[in-house]
Structure 1
Amino acid sequence: MENSSLVVAVLRFIQLKPKVLNPWLNVSGLVALCLASFGMTLLGNFQLSNDEEIHNVGTSLTFGFGTLACWIQSALTLKINLKNEGRKAGIPRVALSAGITLCVVLYFILMVQGIHMYAARIQWGLVMCFLCYFSTFAVEFRHYRFEIVCSEYQENFLSFSESLSEASEYQTDQV
């Protein structure tokens, strides 16, 4: 999940970059999702039984910055309203953000009280809420096409239109 959340963070940042007037909220959402993704990496690589301290740092990063990122993305969704689908995606995101916040608070209360069995159950519920939250980006991503272009380094740089015309010379007709 950590790799997919990082990809979603970058794609979402790129998607909103030309639409936001004040970029600080978009940058904050990217940073929060990146830190949450790093926390997920720590969680996945350092099990509680092997290295409790690093595992707990990963938990705090994931849940803390993940929750913050959810609220930021919910606000951006409602504010920017891409393709007039702000409510369609924003209302479920706000509801999931509230559920995630409730689970995080409950998780830390149970951990402080030493009720680890129930805290672990809340933790799994929290992961499911995060997965549902990330799935809501499909509503807005379906309108966009993201491409990564990798080309060989050339001594003489061609303009984008020149490279397209040069590439089309070598393509065969397709049926």
Structure 2
Amino acid sequence: MYQRGNLVPKDHLILALVVAVLRFIQLKPKVLNPWLNVSGLVALCLASFGMTLLGNFQLSNDEEIHNVGTSLTFGFGTLACWIQSALTLKINLKNEGRKAGIPRVALSASITLCVVLYFILMAQGIHMYAARIQWGLVMCFLCYFGTFAVEFRHYRFEIVCSEYQENFLSFSESLSEASEYQTDQV
């Protein structure tokens, strides 16, 4: 349920976690040194956990936990954006590294600027302007997550759940084998 005063709807929490896992799976066979890919996954997972704290603990109810969530979300979220931007430019999936990488770098820079401004304004007690920066920051994060569509459009992710068998065929392999033996009938 979306309550008044919550910054992040609950649906976005799951979306961020799903994007983190799908991005990790997408890049896993492509990276030579997996530490950067694992770091990106961990940073996005911690940012998602921070969003969970933000969504469940309003500032008016539990300020300390809300502020921890803010720090996790914005700190690890910014780190994750820079890591994913570097991975995008380095790996260059389907020759679209620049198409997706340049906007990601620009959004990462905007996010970093917003995070710095947010914490400066909060330290000075200028909460009205900090809240505006915070909303701008959330919009930049949402735009950033939207840039993954460029690279995800080339992939098909499946979840297969079955008992372990020696001669396991995936559903798509089974269909392709079945279609080899069928004649074209209308």
Task: Write out per-residue CA displacement over residues 44-102 of structure 1, whole angstroms, 9 at most, x where no aligned residue.
Answer: 00000000000000000000000000000000000000000000000000000000000
| Cα distance in 2 for residues equivalent to 1:30 and 1:171 | 43
TM-score by length of 2: 0.84
Provide the secondary structure at the position in 2 that maps to 1:173. Answer: coil
| Cα distance in 2 for residues equivalent to 1:63 and 1:35 | 10
1:167 CA displacement: 8.5
Counterpart for residue 157 of structure 1 = 168
Is the alpha carbon distance of 1:113 and 1:22 closer, same or farther for their aligned partners in structure 2, counting shifts above 3 Å?
A: same
1:117 CA displacement: 0.8
Counterpart for residue 113 of structure 1 = 124
Is the alpha carbon distance of 1:169 and 1:46 closer, same or farther for their aligned partners in structure 2, counting shifts above 3 Å?
A: farther
1:151 CA displacement: 2.5
Unaligned runs of 5+ in 1: none
Is the alpha carbon distance of 1:85 and 1:163 closer, same or farther for their aligned partners in structure 2, counting shifts above 3 Å?
A: closer
Question: Does the 8 Å contact 2:111/2:137 carry over to 1?
Answer: yes
Provide the secondary structure at the position in 2 that maps to 1:54. Answer: helix
Is the alpha carbon distance of 1:123 and 1:157 closer, same or farther for their aligned partners in structure 2, counting shifts above 3 Å?
A: same
Is the alpha carbon distance of 1:17 and 1:113 closer, same or farther for their aligned partners in structure 2, counting shifts above 3 Å?
A: same
| Cα distance in 2 for residues equivalent to 1:144 and 1:169 | 24
1:162 CA displacement: 9.0
Task: Write out per-residue CA displacement over residues 100-150 of structure 1, whole angstroms, 9 at most, x where no aligned residue.
Answer: 000000000000000111101100000000000000000000000000012
Instruction: Quote the RMSD (CA, aligned, Å).
Output: 2.9
Is the alpha carbon distance of 1:161 and 1:90 closer, same or farther for their aligned partners in structure 2, counting shifts above 3 Å?
A: closer
Task: List, as ranges, runs of 4+ consecutive aligned residues in structure 1 with deviation greater than 6 Å.
Answer: 153-175
| Cα distance in 2 for residues equivalent to 1:165 and 1:88 | 34
| Cα distance in 2 for residues equivalent to 1:103 and 1:159 | 46
TM-score by length of 1: 0.89
Question: Does the 8 Å contact 2:160/2:170 carry over to 1?
Answer: no
